[in-house]
Structure 1
Amino acid sequence: MWKGAVAVRPDSGSCGPSCPHAAAVVHSFGVRPRRSGSPRDRRVVFPTTGTAGACRRRDAVRLLGKHRVRSAISSGEFSSPWPGVLVDPARAAEPSTVIAAGWLASGPDAVITGPTAAFMHGCTAAEPTPVHVIVPYSSKKRTRPGLVVHNGMALDRDRRLVSGLPVLCVERVVTDLLCTAAPANALAIADQVLSALPPNDRPALRDELHRRLRERPDPRGTRIGVRLLDLATGAAESPAESWLLWRIVDLGFPVPEVNHWVCTIDSEPRYRVDLGWPELKIAVEYYGYAAHAGREERDVARILELERRGWIVIVVRADDLSSMHRVESEIGQAFITRGMPLRGRAAGGLRARRHRELRAG
């Protein structure tokens, strides 16, 4: 069985370690077997001194040495999304890691702002990437792929610490987004922030947001910001409902009531409609795929029951949010049926004009 120091199969007919049919080399006498902890097998562990799987390159060099850091980047054990910043590849797709890396790349004076800050405050309607940060006007940091750099004032006053990162307070974040973000997204974020509070606490936050809008140093967007804040109730149950509310109001229709309860003859709540005009018994129902998959029969029965009670029901699906032509037509026809043709309805009245837009005449 044994030939030299090599273990082979008894029936292999092997003549030595070079035979392809040999079993496995146990070890060679006089030669120390390679240990699993040798440099060739040892994986460089990402530094634990970083934030959420990200750290500054100079900190990693101080802990591990320049050569090991360079080798880890070359082998893919570390990744570097921006100069001077390292990320653990195992966490490179996590929003918290990307946000931390973006802040590290922007310097210690940067504060997380915009939709990224809204996301960190718990608003799922906000997209965390690209990472938005705000820096003092004296900073030379500039926008780069995946990282949007803004300039602003009074950062220390509104700075808060969220998950170990400096983030603008939620009041300033919402105020800025109401003036600068896409209206549908800004309304969804304002609705989520209000819905996180008990109903009795919402008026105080609304008053604070109105104050900040009045005192905002940059007046651009404050007109639509005030209008969006007036639309936000905190009653919407999903961002899609807020998006739909904005689209309907932007088309020039009267502001509908959000999540209105339809009661029985005994005044007991029976059905809740997403958006509606109760006096006219016109309802708009949003049927998102995830929430209504497999509920088709139930939804049809619900609509029939509302119609028996005298309601006109317009169903909106996710695809309709990108093109509201059918929904606009059906809502308009519903108002006509109720004897309110809404003549002179103007769509897009709150939309900002393009910079230096030419005026007629």
Structure 2
Amino acid sequence: MGRRKVLEGLERGLLSQPWRGVVVHATDLLKLPTRAAAALLAVKPPVAVAGVTSLALHGISAADDRDIHVMVPYSRRVRSRPGLVVHQGGFRDEDVIEIDGLLTFLLDRALADFLCDGGKRAAFTALDEALRGLPPDHCAKLRENVRDRLADRRDRRGIHRALMLLDLATGRAESPPESVLRLIVVEAGFPVPDPQHEITTVDGRKLYVFDMAWPSRQIALEYDGFAAHEERREYDRERDERMAARGWITLRAVAADLRDPSRLLTELRNAFDRRAGRAA
């Protein structure tokens, strides 16, 4: 495409120039692979897709950031620009893989970096999602690989937090909000809850599954997402009553509690206090 046609396409809005020297079809600009490819072209090698963008290319839906993140070696001085975040770091050929023709970090490397550099909640939910559904041996191997990446990391900032999140993640949360809820209660000082805790009959038949629970105290915590629970309120109320008859306290969290957990944490403290009083 000649210069004249490019200028004409830009003027008519058919083409878009996300960064200097790179032009893409405007209709493709919403596609992550297109924006990532444009970023790699704009920065020029050596460069790799990194951080939250790398996780998104690996299919981690909890990794949500409109900006494109890339990494260049420490020896390069490349400025970030609107929509394009440039990180500096060390990486070798064995640290990267091609996805959709784009050079990006391996999953364990991307997770290790994001656990140190990303927002705490976003990093934790991304890790939990990456572990979700893996066979136990694969889950253990991914943990080991991420831990090794953290040990080898030159930049030690964020390592302590990353290790804490790595120890807390189970991969058993069924949604990102459940992961966030688990993080909230642990950071508030409560014991680590058992995720997806099953309630069974005497003969071992499964009755219910709590999102998370403290079995020794018979306290359960459920997350009620709007889409999943709007039509189940009556069922949930009846189930809570049946579980109360078995000695359980069931607390319920909603999306607003993730933004401001003060109400929920107060109820949870009250529940723990009740159990402490019963034990006394």
TM over 0.5: yes
Which ranges of structure 1 fall in alignment gaps of 5 or more residues? 1-63, 342-361
Q: Deviations over 1:160-203 (max 9, x none)?
A: 10111011111111111112222221111111111142123211
Q: Which residue of 2 aligns with 1:65?
A: 2
Q: Distance in 1 between matches of 2:83 and 2:261?
A: 31
- 2:242 is aligned with 1:308: no
SS at match of 2:115: helix
**Residue 99 of structure 1, CA deviation:** 2.3
Of all paired residues, the percent bearing the same amino acid is 39
Q: Which residue of 1 aligns with 2:146?
A: 209
**Residue 65 of structure 1, CA deviation:** 1.3
Instruction: Provide closer, same or farther for how the CA distance between residues 301 and 99 of structure 1 changes in structure 2, counting only shifts above 3 A.
Output: farther
Matches within 5 A, 1:36-115: 64-115=1-52
**Contact 1:191-1:235 at 8 Å conserved across structures:** yes
Q: Deviations over 1:190-239 (max 9, x none)?
A: 11111142123211221222222222211111111111101111111111
**Contact 1:99-1:128 at 8 Å conserved across structures:** no
| Aligned residue among 65, 68, 75 for 1:131 | 68
- 2:168 is aligned with 1:250: no
Q: Which amino acid aligns with 2:86?
A: V
Q: Distance in 2 between matches of 1:153 and 1:236?
A: 33
Name the stretch that deviates more: 179-188 or 92-101: 92-101
Q: Which residue of 2 aligns with 1:188?
A: 125
Q: Which amino acid aligns with 2:12?
A: S
**Residue 294 of structure 1, CA deviation:** 2.0
Q: Which residue of 2 aligns with 1:279?
A: 216
**Residue 69 of structure 1, CA deviation:** 1.2
Instruction: Provide closer, same or farther for how the CA distance between residues 119 and 70 of structure 1 changes in structure 2, counting only shifts above 3 A.
Output: same
**Residue 108 of structure 1, CA deviation:** 2.7
Q: Which residue of 2 aligns with 1:42?
A: none
Which structure ranks higher in relative contact order (CA pairs < 8 Å, sequence separation ≥ 6)?
A: 2
Q: Which residue of 1 aligns with 2:155?
A: 218
**Residue 71 of structure 1, CA deviation:** 1.2
| Aligned residue among 275, 284, 294 for 2:231 | 294
- 2:164 is aligned with 1:164: no
Q: Which has the higher helix share?
A: 2
SS at match of 1:294: helix
Q: Which amino acid aligns with 1:314?
A: L
| Aligned residue among 259, 271, 274 for 1:334 | 271
**Residue 66 of structure 1, CA deviation:** 1.3
Which ranges of structure 2 fall in alignment gaps of 5 or more residues? none
Name the stretch that deviates more: 197-206 or 69-78: 197-206
Query: How many residue pairs end up in the alignment?
Result: 278
Q: Deviations over 1:292-338 (max 9, x none)?
A: 23222222222222222211111000011011111110111111111
**Residue 340 of structure 1, CA deviation:** 6.9
Instruction: Provide closer, same or farther for how the CA distance between residues 218 and 291 of structure 1 changes in structure 2, counting only shifts above 3 A.
Output: same
- 2:85 is aligned with 1:148: yes
Q: Which residue of 2 aligns with 1:49?
A: none
SS at match of 2:17: coil
Runs (4+) of structure 1 exceeding 3 A deviation are none
Q: Which amino acid aligns with 1:150?
A: H
- 2:164 is aligned with 1:227: yes
**Structure label with greater radius of gyration:** 1
**Contact 1:275-1:283 at 8 Å conserved across structures:** yes
Instruction: Provide closer, same or farther for how the CA distance between residues 340 and 171 of structure 1 changes in structure 2, counting only shifts above 3 A.
Output: farther
How large is the RMSD of aligned CA atoms in angstroms?
A: 1.6
Q: Deviations over 1:42-67 (max 9, x none)?
A: xxxxxxxxxxxxxxxxxxxxxx2111
Q: Deviations over 1:91-136 (max 9, x none)?
A: 2222232222222222132101111111111110001421100011
TM, length-normalised to structure 1: 0.74
Q: Distance in 1 between matches of 2:62 and 2:247?
A: 34
Q: Distance in 2 between matches of 1:158 and 1:329?
A: 45
Q: Distance in 2 between matches of 1:227 and 1:104?
A: 36
